[in-house]
Amino acid sequence: MQESMLNIPDTNRERVVIIGCGFAGLEMAKRLKKSNFQVVLIDKNNYHQFQPLFYQVATAGLEPRDISFPIRKIFHEQKDIIIRISEVIGINAESKTVETTIGNLKYDHLVLAQGATTSYFGLNNVEKFSQPMKSVIEALEVLNSILHNLEDALVNTDPENVDELTKIVIVGGGPTGVELSGALAEMKRYVFPKDYPELDCSRIRIILVEASSRLLGGSSEKSSIKAEKFLKKLGVEIMKDTLVVDYDGSTIKLKDKDSIKSKTLIWAAGIKGNEIQGFPKEVSTKSKLLIVDQFHRVKGYNNIYAIGDVAAMISDKWPAGYPQVAQVAIQSARNLASNLINEKKGRNSKPFHYFDWGTMATVGRNKAVVDLKYIKFQGVIAWFAWMFIHLRSIFGVKNKILILINWIWSYITYDQSLRLTFLPKNFRFSRKD
């Protein structure tokens, strides 16, 4: 394929190619506007996704459109940002070329911000039968699965089958697992009894499985304990120090513990970098993250950079790299963009130092835990702080208003109004012949 197939104009300006439009790639492109670079932004989707609220799509609290934003609309006023929707196949560092499904593209500077995907730690059956939640589409699939299983439970006469259909197991006690468990527990209490009055909703069980000794490993011990207390009060069953070793779509096998029978296994236990072909193995960690120096340069390369979830900036304080959260991605993008601009002006680049603003997680209605730099608090105030910060971070006035309306409605009515299921092609309702 030739570069001309991408229909990108020739220029005497240096070209910065950014792969991925998550928090890191989007911030990078915004910072390079009017910078005298030709900026080409490549993503396989034509929208940016607000990942922290995926769980609300999975629990019918928000619509996918509320947390998805068209990339081209974001850059309406930046005509110097060139956008191409395509998948990246590989990198040829020697010829400074990016190979995509629609053509090849030369670069002067390459910024890898393609993010991370779900890691199953080599558990092939778990990968085949469980449900991840790393995209809006996957969040919708989680919701579909839960609602279809409840429909099946409603017409099933075998108690064992009903137990399997009404048991929801979430693996991973990080923010995603905790927030999803709390939201599902609220639905069990306030929503499902009204939707399924013929079903004994007390039989619905929500089980959170965590491999380590505590939830929210990146938060303070106080917040971890408080989050666990909140979840237990909501009726969530918590299994710590528990490893999943296999799953066949019906039986979840645990290491040194009794198996769990369930038709729903939601996997939120690990992540790995989205790989792009063209790099030797030594530039990546075991989790497929690209090893970078303090200037975001991929190990062994001067003009290839990695930022966001796909990057591992290893130090004594952070031996596994910085946490894969939005603030690291955004701050990394700002630093790299500034360095590229300064370098062009003959100024020195600045090494990256992450400023940790803290962590937060919501645990159902009126409950959250917040660990900020200098203060930690939990409960109702933390919940409102969580709402404010996330609402402030959402793109677009329209989206902010829609989300606020949905949150207010849910708060007043104890209800979510978006419980729609979409049947995939060739779907067939299960029945007993």
Token pair of 306 as six digits = 């990695």
Residue for token pair 């390369």: 301
Burial label for 431, CB within 10 Å (0-12, 13-18, 19+), is exposed
d(CA 411, CA 399): 18
Q: Which residues contact 329 (CB under 8 A, 6 or more apart)?
A: 22, 23, 24, 27, 113, 307, 308, 309
Catalytic annotation, residues: 179
CA distances from 19 to 5, 14, 188, 283, 382 (A): 18, 16, 40, 18, 35
- Residue pair 265/237 in contact by the 8 Å Cβ criterion: no
Torsion (CA) 194, 199, 202, 207 in degrees, nearest 10: -100
Q: Give Cα 13 to chain centroid, integer Å.
A: 34
Token pair of 47 as six digits = 């929208």
d(CA 391, CA 317): 31
Q: Which residues contact 413 (CB under 8 A, 6 or more apart)?
A: none
- Residue pair 66/399 in contact by the 8 Å Cβ criterion: yes
First and final C-alpha spacing in the chain: 53
